[in-house]
């Protein structure tokens, strides 16, 4: 599996997990996925009630885990409002903070990937589906997987 495939695997798993939670409870708590060099994937969550504090603690945890080594790709995922300049007509989004070890020496070595979504109730049913739209990538320097 090449570097792009490894990053895509993490992105797909993270988006599908967020989508399932949105369809179950119409929101989700921040979480992270880490793909290790050996191919194993670990999900990291916490029980902090405040969403911002929960996200901040996940970021702190990612710094520690990345410094320990062995992390190839990481994604921190949060339910958010997409900044207006990227939102187009759909303000709700899944934001993935994606970093890849293979990109750490590049100037733009990390990305936010915003996946706009709309929650829709199926007609004649109480079932909610999350309709995902075209992702919007935004690049920036890595915070966790640094040289």
Over range 57-72, report the average pLDDT.
Answer: 92
Band of pLDDT at residue 126, cut at 50, 70 and 90: confident
Round to whole Å and give the CA distance between 80 and 84. Answer: 12
Write the pLDDT tens digit of every residue in 74-121: 999 999 999 988 878 899 999 999 999 988 888 778 899 999 999 998
Q: Within a 10 A sphere around the Cβ of 73, how many other Cβ atoms?
A: 24
Q: pTM for the whole thing? A: 0.90
What is the 3 state secondary structure string of 29-41?
CCEEEEEECCCCE
Position 41 pLDDT exceeds 90: yes
pLDDT above 90 (res 42)? yes
pLDDT band at 137 (very low <50, low <70, confident <90, very high): very high
């Amino acid at each position: 599996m090449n570097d792009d495939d490894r990053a895509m695997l993490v992105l797909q798993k993270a988006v599908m997990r967020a989508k399932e939670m949105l369809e179950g409870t119409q929101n989700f708590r921040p979480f992270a996925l880490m793909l290790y060099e050996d191919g194993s994937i670990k999900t990291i969550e916490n029980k902090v009630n405040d969403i911002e504090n929960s996200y901040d603690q996940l970021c702190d945890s990612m710094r520690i885990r990345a410094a320990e080594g062995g992390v190839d790709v990481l994604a921190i995922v949060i339910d958010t409002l997409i900044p207006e300049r990227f939102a187009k007509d759909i303000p709700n989004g899944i934001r993935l903070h994606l970093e890849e070890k293979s990109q750490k020496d590049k100037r733009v070595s990390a990305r936010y990937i915003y996946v706009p979504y709309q929650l829709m109730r199926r007609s004649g049913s109480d079932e909610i589906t999350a309709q995902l739209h075209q992702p919007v990538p935004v690049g920036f320097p890595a915070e966790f997987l640094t040289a």
